[in-house]
Amino acid sequence: MEKRLVSLTAGATLTVLATDPMARIDIPLHCCQHGHACSLEIKADGMRFAIVKG
């Protein structure tokens, strides 16, 4: 995820799909620490994060 974010310009969106329950904590925390916006959508088969690079 970090490598992908580095290659994006500010304002670009990265979509991350996850099934690991800890991702619900880890991804938003990472985004908060690095100035990115993050939204979460929970689906039956996992989670979908939309990260907007800050």
Domain ranges of the chain: 2-52
Backbone φ and ψ for 45, nearest 5 degrees, come out as: -100, 10
pLDDT per position as a tens digit, 21-53: 999 999 999 999 999 999 999 999 999 999 999
Q: What is the pLDDT of residue 4?
A: 94
DSSP state, residue 41: E
Q: What is the pLDDT of residue 25?
A: 97
Fold observed for domain 2-52: Translation Initiation Factor IF3 (3.30.110)
Q: What is the pLDDT of residue 26?
A: 97
Q: What is the pLDDT of residue 53?
A: 98
- Burial of residue 7 (CB within 10 Å: 0-12, 13-18, 19+) is exposed
Confidence of residue 20 (pLDDT cuts 50, 70, 90): very high
